[in-house]
Structure 1
Amino acid sequence: MKKTAISYLLFFSLLFSLGIGNVSCQNKKNNSIVMRYDSLSKEKIITLTPFDSTLVLVFYKKYPELLPYKKQAVAIYQQQQYNYIWYDGNGIKETAAVLWNKINNIQDEGITVSVPYKTVLDSKYYKKTATPDIELELGLTSYYLFYVDKVYQGIDASKSKELGWYLPRKKASYNNYIDSLLVEPTSAQDKFLMPQYYKLREALKQYRDLDKKGGWNKILVTPKFKSLKPGDTSAVIAQIRTRLFLEGDLTRDSKDSIYDEELKTGVLRFEIRTGFKADEVILPKHIAEMNVPINNRIKTIMVNMERCRWISNGLTKSKEFVVINIPSYQLTFFKDKKPVLVSKVVVGKVMHETVVFSGMMSYIVFSPYWNVPTSILRKEILPAMRRNKNYLASHHMEWHNGGVRQKPGPNNSLGLIKFLFPNNNNIYLHDTPSKNLFKEETRAFSHGCIRIEKPVELANLILKDEPNWTPEKIDEAMHTYKESWYTLKTKIPVYIGYFTAWVDSQGTINFYKDIYKNDGRLMEMLTKE
């Protein structure tokens, strides 16, 4: 069973938080209730004796779909000397009701798999007998492990790596939080999953509610449709107005067929949050995006909730860190947990995908050489040299140590500065002379490294507290035509992620193109879990 250690620690904490650590005997009689009277108050005290350990094996033989949780359950009950977890002398505990409610509403967490034996254990749960039902006891234990596995852990790390996800997976223990999770799940939520998860969960609810009401209709346009601009009149405009109102980009639906200022506001809002440049002219590509079925949006939210399960809250505890989201083509530099710089980026094209991973920025290189990777040398540079004997000179390149490198300067493919976070993928952040690429909506053009639109601003912020690195000094180092390295005094975490749905600080959900086609593969994995 995967994640055995984490789940065991989770449950071990739960056992003590539910107050079952004090045991007076190791009686093996099943469902045995012991009544005694306090010698002073004369009040009746009801306690439960431990149950027969062989009943655990009997249970999992009868309910084989829960067998993956047998090993953890056995270890837990051995540690607790086979005392009941979900029952006390007065019957089933209130904490069992909290868990049962979570299991009944597990679909709210974007979980697609069904809960095994739910109907059978439902009938046992709702009997509410004072005498413990051993099958319900073990069923609740299995359901708890099932919930932790699906909601807080997510799919196995080996499967996420199949999708190219190499960010460190969460390794947290919830020992200190499990009590508050079961009793006060809302107040404890930020201790278990990253805040973005809960924002997406709320968006999932909103989109499902909208889906139940019929969602939105497809906007019908003729094959000859080219564009709509402010002032135009068309039946299509009325369709667009209704569509944008349903998803919240307009506050009302006037049904008007004239492209007015109110509609323009909604159109621009829709374009920005779906990855387009703000353009008041409505083009076929915008209509196509509006026609994405609501069910597709729901699936997109679900797969991104899954990605949130893989990330530890601890990733953002550093004073400074850099986050790059590949599908949004955006870098954000955080300082004291606040975004101080947002920059467009260019990422790897489909054949040279930028890897999802993390590293520690350790060096800034001014006026860098570009050491041409062997693959690019073989596939691109050498064929070009055979066609043009002056190719190296015309591209400011030279042979060096058996390879080819490009000399420092404004024509260098890395621009005037690069930021290194050593890694096996040979990926780094860098400037570029091709500034025009940042004007494009789709910016997957590189061989894997990440080009930054605002490298100077990033360097100034990183070195802001370094008295020897004034903006003038940085500019000078970038234009010397001589490579120089600076080692950062404090390393800065860099996280490269892949999120195609993201709720921003204003509560607006943004959808981005799945440029590496990972969403469909992840959704398939989730439905087979």
Structure 2
Amino acid sequence: MDSTINGKETPDEEKLLNPQFKKLRTALQKYIDLKNENHPWDSIALERPKLVLGDSGGAISAIKDRLHYLGDLNDAPSDDKYDKDTKDAVKSFQSRYGLSPDGVVGPNFMKALNIPLDTLIRTITINLERVRWIPSELPKEYIWVNIPDYKLHAYEQGKEVFNMRVIVGSAAHGTTIFSGNIKYIVFAPYWNVPTSIVKNEILPGIKNNPNYIKNHNMEIYGKDGKYPLVRQLPGPDNALGRVKFLFPNSYNIYLHDTPNHDLFTSRNRGLSHGCVRLSEPEKMADWLLRNDTTHYPTQVIDSLMNKNTKEKWVTLDKTVPVYLVYFTTWVDSDCKINFRKDIYGHDAKIAEKLFK
């Protein structure tokens, strides 16, 4: 039997819904109401490369009107000046869309501002469908990685205690969506090179340079069928960096450090082979071991990460849930709706089923 009444959830079903579902449903209604107002939504053209504080004329009036319409600019526009209030509104919009919040109106900003209302409504609807599968109540302590947002959030007693930038799988090597439990921290880890990388990268490298293995601080420690087993030794250039966090799973996905932290400044951080690289791995280690400061005070963790040359496994006294999720829109703690790019094309697949 259908559990909805006139398309709405019954009281019993409401109890099973995650609070994010209710927030998104409210946002959806807001955008439907905006569409029903038949407010002009023509594409706005920028007449110069960019707009900054102090500029006037051009498309500023239309931009201010739309920012007001979407709730980023409080007061209705009365002139065509790019003033401080307008800059703050632009920064608010940029933050909601995952753009650099620099207050500069340029091509990326305009592309986001010109997304049709119908497209936004569809995106919200798709994510409403996704959030149905999130439990109504999450654990008091957990880690949340939203892949399209390239960000990790840590929660304690149900409240966010920190967040950090992450690098996720590229479009060709997408990070799998699933949940698990962090059980181990491995300091100064070996990197056991996957067979696919041995086949496609290591063996061609050896063919071109006999010293390839030595030059990359690697060793061959066995054989698996016709391919050698290769691992990279612990050290500053190890592909996993100085530490990794394991939540046993069949996908061989985990969280880890990286020797190349410059990549975290990039806006689009879909760059890995599937695992999740952390911008602040030491903060993660400190947090996971915060209740065992007798054995692992901050200085010991720092030493294990930066001075240890031998791999060391630490088993957590209590596993910590981790959720790898895929939301291209959500309502944040400030009740603002956020949108991100559908980096893996998952939205398009769901849309084919929802909007036939």
Residue 25 of structure 1 corresponds to none
Secondary structure of the residue aligned to 2:59 is helix
Secondary structure of the residue aligned to 1:305 is helix
Query: Does residue 478 in structure 1 map to residue 314 in structure 2?
Result: no
Tell whether the 8 Å contact from 1:216 to 1:294 is kept in structure 2 after alignment: no
| Structure-1 separation of matches of 2:210 and 2:69 | 61
Query: Does residue 458 in structure 1 map to residue 284 in structure 2?
Result: yes
- Return the letter of the residue paired with 1:282: V
2:215 to 394, 400, 419: 394
1:407 to 230, 233, 258: 233
| Structure-2 separation of matches of 1:310 and 1:500 | 15
Number of equivalenced pairs: 349
Query: Does residue 346 in structure 1 map to residue 172 in structure 2?
Result: no
Identity %: 43
Secondary structure of the residue aligned to 1:228 is coil
- Return the letter of the residue paired with 1:496: L
- 1:365/1:455 CA distance change after superposition, 3 Å: same
- Return the letter of the residue paired with 1:275: G
Residue 324 of structure 1 corresponds to 145
Alpha carbon RMSD of aligned pairs, Å?
Answer: 1.7
| Structure-1 separation of matches of 2:57 and 2:230 | 58
- Return the letter of the residue paired with 1:250: L
Shift of 1:256: 2.2
| Structure-2 separation of matches of 1:217 and 1:313 | 36
Shift of 1:286: 0.9
Deviations 1:466-521 (A, max 9, x none): 02110001011112121100011111111101001110111100001110111121
| Structure-2 separation of matches of 1:515 and 1:323 | 18
Residue 198 of structure 2 corresponds to 377
| Structure-2 separation of matches of 1:429 and 1:482 | 19
Shift of 1:219: 4.0
User: Which contiguous aligned blocks of 4+ residues in structure 1 show a shift greater than 4 angstroms?
Assistant: none
Secondary structure of the residue aligned to 1:486 is strand
Tell whether the 8 Å contact from 1:242 to 1:255 is kept in structure 2 after alignment: no
- Return the letter of the residue paired with 1:471: T
- Return the letter of the residue paired with 2:179: S
2:295 to 452, 464, 468: 468
Residue 309 of structure 1 corresponds to 132
| Structure-2 separation of matches of 1:487 and 1:493 | 14
| Structure-1 separation of matches of 2:272 and 2:26 | 35
Shift of 1:230: 1.2
| Structure-1 separation of matches of 2:272 and 2:335 | 32
Tell whether the 8 Å contact from 1:341 to 1:458 is kept in structure 2 after alignment: no
Secondary structure of the residue aligned to 1:234 is coil
Deviations 1:158-199 (A, max 9, x none): xxxxxxxxxxxxxxxxxxxx7xx27xxxxx83x211000000
Tell whether the 8 Å contact from 2:219 to 2:232 is kept in structure 1 after alignment: yes
| Structure-2 separation of matches of 1:212 and 1:259 | 29
Shift of 1:407: 1.1
Q: Tell me whether 407-416 or 441-450 shows the greater mean CA deviation.
A: 407-416
Shift of 1:215: 4.4
| Structure-1 separation of matches of 2:286 and 2:344 | 32
In the TM superposition, 1:143-292 aligns within 5 A as 181=11, 189=14, 191-221=15-45, 225-292=48-115
| Structure-1 separation of matches of 2:91 and 2:331 | 17
| Structure-2 separation of matches of 1:383 and 1:228 | 49
Secondary structure of the residue aligned to 1:313 is coil
Tell whether the 8 Å contact from 1:241 to 1:255 is kept in structure 2 after alignment: no
Secondary structure of the residue aligned to 2:38 is coil
Unaligned runs of 5+ in 2: 224-228
* Greater relative CO, 1 or 2 (CA 8 Å, sep 6+): 2
- Return the letter of the residue paired with 1:493: P
Shift of 1:221: 2.1
Residue 330 of structure 2 corresponds to 502
Shift of 1:372: 0.6
Residue 491 of structure 1 corresponds to 319
Structure with the higher fraction of residues in strand conformation = 2
Deviations 1:129-173 (A, max 9, x none): xxxxxxxxxxxxxxxxxxxxxx6xxxxxxxxxxxxxxxxxxxxxx
Secondary structure of the residue aligned to 1:299 is helix
| Structure-2 separation of matches of 1:517 and 1:219 | 24
| Structure-2 separation of matches of 1:225 and 1:392 | 52
Deviations 1:351-373 (A, max 9, x none): 00000001111100001111110
Secondary structure of the residue aligned to 1:358 is strand
Tell whether the 8 Å contact from 2:68 to 2:77 is kept in structure 1 after alignment: no
Unaligned runs of 5+ in 1: 1-6, 8-68, 70-98, 110-150, 152-177, 183-187
Shift of 1:418: 0.4
| Structure-2 separation of matches of 1:230 and 1:376 | 49
Query: Does residue 512 in structure 1 map to residue 340 in structure 2?
Result: yes
Tell whether the 8 Å contact from 1:238 to 1:257 is kept in structure 2 after alignment: yes
Tell whether the 8 Å contact from 2:44 to 2:114 is kept in structure 1 after alignment: no
Of the two, which has the highest radius of gyration?
1
Secondary structure of the residue aligned to 1:411 is coil
Secondary structure of the residue aligned to 1:482 is coil
| Structure-1 separation of matches of 2:316 and 2:322 | 14
Tell whether the 8 Å contact from 2:152 to 2:163 is kept in structure 1 after alignment: yes
Shift of 1:394: 2.1
Residue 358 of structure 1 corresponds to 179
In the TM superposition, 1:21-36 aligns within 5 A as none
Deviations 1:189-240 (A, max 9, x none): 3x21100000000001100000001245234326x74211111223211111
Tell whether the 8 Å contact from 1:219 to 1:236 is kept in structure 2 after alignment: no
Deviations 1:62-116 (A, max 9, x none): xxxxxxx8xxxxxxxxxxxxxxxxxxxxxxxxxxxxx9xx633x2xx5xxxxxxx
- Return the letter of the residue paired with 1:283: G
Shift of 1:436: 1.1
| Structure-2 separation of matches of 1:308 and 1:215 | 30
In the superposition, the TM-score normalised over structure 1's length comes to 0.64
- Return the letter of the residue paired with 2:20: Q
